[in-house]
Amino acid sequence: MVTGDTKVVEKGHGDGCYINTAGIGVMPDGLHIGPTRAQPGDAVIVSGSIGDHGMAIMSVRESLEFETTIESDCAALNTLVDAMLGVSRDIHVLRDPTRGGVASSLNEIAGNRESGS
């Protein structure tokens, strides 16, 4: 399993330093998690609040001020996924909806399911 992140910025707005992260792990034998396993009627489970990361980034970029501090919810997900797999190995799809939000993630899953990729 390998994952990464890309950035798209307007010309002249990058500071010249970009860090790309990747994760490598081992998928247990017989376990298949991916968008082609999504089925009509599947439950969508959200593990935390929605929009914290995007709002935290936007508030810094746009110098927005709020009555409270908005913090990104970025965190390693390996412990959460391990706990979920300890309860059930019949997990169809997992997504971190940081980029684009929940709607974009669901649209991506639906599109991949329909195309079979």
Q: What is the pLDDT of residue 85?
A: 93
54 burial via Cβ count (<10 Å: 0-12, 13-18, 19+): middle
pLDDT of the chain, 117 residues: tens digit per residue: 456 666 667 777 766 666 666 677 778 889 999 888 999 899 999 887 888 877 888 888 888 888 888 887 777 788 888 999 999 999 999 988 876 788 888 998 988 866 655
- pTM exceeding 0.75: no
Are 95 and 105 in contact by the 8 Å Cβ rule? The answer is yes
Residue 18 pLDDT: 67
> What's the token pair of residue 67?
């009555």
DSSP assignment of the chain equals: ----------TT---S----------PPTT---SGGG--TT------S-SSHHHHHHHHHHTT---SS---------HHHHHHHHHH-S-------TTTTHHHHHHHHHHHHHHHT-
User: Tell me, what's the pLDDT at 53?
Assistant: 78
